[in-house]
């Protein structure tokens, strides 16, 4: 099994970042508007995320831990069909009221790490810009 781990520092308060990540229903669209075009919840623990490039991911909520600011989910199908996937997103405090955002995917087959890594990089870049821009307007 292969893993992809990405981290980024966001110039925003961890509570602000967690409010987006912990929103299972609308979080993906709020995180990366334009890159993610839609998110629909089918069951309380299953969402369908649609991307601008036409990719559609069906994701199952595994855990949502407000105390640790950690979301765990699994891609269970649609246009990407891993034989196994476990993903976590965690929001951690960083110096000067900033946020360290950590996103990890453990996936099989291993070849999916290339596609996932590229998508994670793009999504995180948009997320950083979106949150920092909103924080600048508020501050």
Q: At 118, phi and psi to the nearest 5?
A: -65, -45
pLDDT for res 51: 96
Cα–Cα distance for residue pair 33/137, rounded to 1 Å: 17
If you write DSSP's letter for every residue of 25-59 in order, what string do you get? Answer: TTHHHHHSBTTEEEEEEEETTEEEEEETTS-EEEE
| 3-12, 81-90, 92-101, 128-137: least confidently modelled range | 128-137
Question: Is 110 within 8 Å of 117 (Cβ atoms)?
Answer: no
Q: What is the pLDDT of residues 63-110, one digit of tens each?
A: 999 999 999 999 999 999 999 999 999 999 999 999 999 999 999 999
Instruction: State the DSSP H helix or E strand holding residue 42, giving kind and residue range, or none if neither.
Output: strand 36-43
Q: How many CB atoms lie within 10 A of CB 5?
A: 12
Q: Which CATH number fits the domain 2-134, given the four candidates 3.40.50.12160, 3.30.70.260, 3.40.50.300, 3.30.530.20?
A: 3.30.530.20
Question: Is 30 within 8 Å of 12 (Cβ atoms)?
Answer: no
Burial class (CB in 10 A: 0-12, 13-18, 19+), 139: exposed
pTM for this prediction: 0.93
């Amino acid at each position: 099994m292969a893993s992809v781990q990405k981290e980024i520092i966001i110039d925003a308060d961890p509570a602000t970042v967690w409010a987006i990540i912990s929103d299972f229903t609308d979080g993906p669209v709020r995180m990366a508007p334009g890159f993610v075009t839609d998110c629909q919840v089918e069951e309380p623990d299953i969402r369908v995320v649609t991307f601008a490039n036409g990719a559609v991911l069906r994701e199952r909520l595994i855990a949502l831990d407000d105390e640790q600011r950690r979301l765990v989910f699994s891609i269970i199908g649609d246009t990407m069909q891993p034989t196994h996937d476990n993903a976590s997103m965690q929001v951690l405090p960083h110096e000067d009221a900033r946020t360290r955002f950590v996103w990890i995917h453990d996936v099989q087959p291993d070849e999916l790490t290339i596609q996932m890594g590229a998508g994670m990089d793009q999504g995180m870049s948009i997320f950083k810009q979106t949150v920092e821009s909103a924080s600048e307007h508020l501050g």
